[in-house]
Amino acid sequence: GEDVEQSLFLSVREGDSSVINCTYTDSSSTYLYWYKQEPGAGLQLLTYIFSNMDMKQDQRLTVLLNKKDKHLSLRIADTQTGDSAIYFCAESKEGGSEKLVFGKGMKLTVNP
């Protein structure tokens, strides 16, 4: 079945790197996504990775995918207080958004 698991909380100091982890169960997932939710706002797509890739870098964000272990991570370099938010991992099978299955989200707190 489809299931996406995430840790619930992470606290880091400003300037440190943050690593947010996610595991998924559906080996047929084709796209894996990271979304960010700030307080009082909707979800914002941060980045995504196609399942045939191992890594994707986008400015301060690095996504690593271990398809064998069904493990996805998001590394945020030089974490800023503005990065404080809830981060959701999501998967889809067909590259289509209607099949997105989300994790429950991980709250990142960045302390000055």
Partner 1 sequence: DSGVTQTPKHLITATGQRVTLRCSPRSGDLSVYWYQQSLDQGLQFLIQYYNGEERAKGNILERFSAQQFPDLHSELNLSSLELGDSALYFCASSAGPQRTNEKLFFGSGTQLSVL
CB closer to partner 1, 28 vs 68: 28
In whole angstroms, how close is the CB of 13 to partner 1 at the nearest point?
28
Which tokens go with 38?
């700030």
Tell which one of 13, 55, 57, 96 touches partner 1 (CB under 8 A).
96
Going by C-alpha positions, the residue among 32, 51, 30 that lies closest to residue 93 is 30
Assess contact for 43 and 53: CB atoms under 8 A.
no
Report yes or no: 24 and 33 within 8 Å, Cβ to Cβ. Answer: no
What binding mask, one character per residue, do residues 72-91 give for partner 1 by CB under 8 A, x or -? ----------------x---
Q: What's the min distance (Å) between Cβ of 96 and partner 1? A: 3
With H, G, I as helix, E, B as strand and everything else as coil, classify residue 103.
coil
Residue 23's CB: how many other CB atoms inside 10 A? Answer: 17
- Binding mask 34-73 toward partner 1 (x if CB under 8 A, else -) reads ------xxxxxx--x-------------------------
Residue type, 38: E
The residues binding partner 1 (CB under 8 A) are: 31, 40-45, 48, 88, 94-105
